[in-house]
Structure 1
Amino acid sequence: MKNTGLRQTVLAFICLLAISGSLSAQTKVIDLWNGKIPGAIQNDQFKQMVDTAAGWVDKTAITNPCLYYYPAPEAKATGTAVIICPGGAYWGLAIKHEGEQVAKWLNSFGVTAFVLKYRLPDDRIMENKSIGPMQDGQRAIRVVRSRAKEWGINPAKIGIMGFSAGGHLASTISTHFNEKVYEPVDSTSARPDFSILIYPVISMESGITHWGSRENLIGKNPSPERVKHFSNELQVDSVTPPAFMVHSMDDGAVSVQNSVGYAMALKQFKVPCELHLYQSGGHGYGMGRSNNTESTWPEACYRWLKSNGFGTAGEL
């Protein structure tokens, strides 16, 4: 019996190692902060937890944010790069179907991809949970831009992409890139050159927001000033980067008003924007999961990238 129990324990440990490594087995992992995370609170109860069956990284996993690096094939490389922010209501990360699969799709036409495993807001590990994800997003842009030559990337062709709550983070980086939420090591810009927002949370305003994302990021009873600050449709200006956006009219989780409001704000400031509203699809479909029209968004995005000068090679 003792040997059986020991064998089971060893097997369980091996499985845990396999799960933990599965996300990075085929790619390089880049530590964002090299152990110097701003505003971090040490909490030894937070351990790595990964559910590969569901494609989720649990919220307790992320005390050491990183980038998973997916270089474009050399023969196709265009010099464009995209940093991908998976969704998960600022509670978890759908890192498989809104991260890894997307990165491989981008690679297929010459775009280098980085999947951002960002910290999820939690008072137990952050001095200010509302800016934790923004710190990681800004840092990710600066890391990629500062190492662009090393990775064969054009520093003027670095975009950010987000799904659901990851779309809120991507739009936050697009509208708050000049906000000083940590002390940068140099003057490298944190402004993305474009954004790709897929069924994104944009607003924290009542009647529009996704309540779980709002509560996780800014708390149950945020001040009106904080609600406005993190309602990114209200933070757009003339230097906000161009956007490609996707939403389904029947999205029961994140109202289509999030995308419409952001697109109209971009229009007001004459910032290029392309918004695709689909009849159906619901929420959380990643690259697509049906034969309906919402699953055609990757082709539309490919064409948008190409027509806006972000360079593509090969075919979808």
Structure 2
Amino acid sequence: MHWTMRIGGLIAAGALAAAAVPAVAQDGRMTPMAAPAEPNAIALGTGGVKDQPAPEAWFRQYGVAMTRNVSTATLTPFLPDPAKATGAAVIVAPGGGFLMLSMENEGWRVAKALADRGIAAFVLKYRLRPTPAAMGDFEQAVGAMFASVGKPQSRLSPDAAIAGLSDQIADGRAAVALVRARAKEWRVDPARIGMIGFSAGAMTTMATALAAPDTRLAFVAPIYGSMEAVKVPANAPPMFAVLAADDPLFARKGFGLIDAWQQANRPVEFHLYQAGGHGFGLGKKGTTSPGWFDAFVRWLDTNGVLAAK
């Protein structure tokens, strides 16, 4: 296994992925909402979650829909108009610290934007760690996670971190396998399937690509994910990475991930935006961070991903 990412402590840090400020901060209240209809969601059949005490629950925070206690992984297609379909496909992995998923901000909106560009997108609702059923208790659990972020004792060994992502890796692999299996139906080229992830979703993306290289991803795009160094295999996919210089989690800690890709002589493009914080999705107004999406599509095009082969 080539996966040696030093993500000790980032399992804890990932709880910040849903927003740039703590859940208990002003305007960050979590408001329960009815589960939205997901008629196109396809169960991946990867199993459940051990010791899950509560059912999946949806809520709004910062005006966007989120979910937690996901115990059944699903994949939801967002297909482009056949007249402008490029044949390229992207698995989209939202963030949320493995405690929740920012389905609207980092899932549906991103998938719709990709489909508008002729790229088939598939939102991965991957399994999460159990959280308390009561919203107040859940908010306290998220707050406690904030308190441990960055502390040396919160760091995990690489092996422990990898073991902690086994469910997410299995879900990522199953998502890629499903898109390949139905590629003809969805007008997708099996050789042009990549994965994009946000924060904890970026970790899921990198783990899927590097711990399970047989997924044969055409590209990976970690968006405001960890910049820690990894051991890069010779056949690692091209990478497009994005980070804001004021990210409270991953900025000012070096760019080991980018350096590792370069040293392995693998294609990499990296955009460091002056401002944007964490959890900005398609971009934060008043900053240059919204430019990442257009840059990503241009990068895909330049690398031949959007051209039929």
TM-score by length of 1: 0.72
Give the corresponding residue for 2:239: 243
| Alignment equivalent of 1:59, drawn from 65, 68, 71 | 68
Separation in 1 of the partners of 2:290 and 2:252?
17
Give the corresponding residue for 1:171: 206
| Alignment equivalent of 1:105, drawn from 94, 101, 113 | 113
Give the corresponding residue for 2:36: 21
Over the residues paired in the alignment, what is the CA RMSD in angstroms? 2.4
Give the corresponding residue for 1:135: 170
Percentage identity across aligned positions?
34
Separation in 1 of the partners of 2:130 and 2:56?
15
Contact preservation (8 Å) 2:99, 2:131? no
Paired positions, count? 246
Contact preservation (8 Å) 1:287, 1:298? yes
| Alignment equivalent of 2:79, drawn from 61, 71, 74 | 71
Indicate the structure whose relative CO is greater, using CA pairs within 8 Å and at least 6 residues apart: 2
Give the corresponding residue for 1:253: 249
Question: Per-residue CA shift, 1:229-283, capped at 9, x if unaligned?
Answer: xxxx32322111101111111111233547x211111111111000001111111
| SS at 1:75 equivalent | helix
| SS at 2:87 equivalent | coil
The reply on whether 1:275 has 2:270 as its aligned counterpart is yes
TM-score by length of 2: 0.73
Question: Runs ≥4 in structure 1, deviation > 3 angstroms?
Answer: 40-43, 121-124
Separation in 2 of the partners of 1:293 and 1:74?
32
Relative distance call for 1:109 and 1:312 in structure 2 (3 A) is farther
**Unaligned ranges ≥5, structure 1:** 1-15, 179-188, 204-232
Separation in 1 of the partners of 2:289 and 2:164?
33
Relative distance call for 1:52 and 1:312 in structure 2 (3 A) is farther
Bigger radius of gyration: 1
Separation in 1 of the partners of 2:101 and 2:65?
5
| Alignment equivalent of 1:147, drawn from 171, 182, 194 | 182
The reply on whether 1:37 has 2:47 as its aligned counterpart is yes
Equivalent residue runs for 1:225-244 within 5 Å: 233-244=229-240
Code of the aligned partner of 2:42: I
Equivalent residue runs for 1:119-130 within 5 Å: 119-122=127-130, 129-130=164-165
Separation in 2 of the partners of 1:132 and 1:247?
26
Separation in 1 of the partners of 2:196 and 2:109?
13
What is the deviation of 1:123? 10
**Unaligned ranges ≥5, structure 2:** 1-31, 133-162
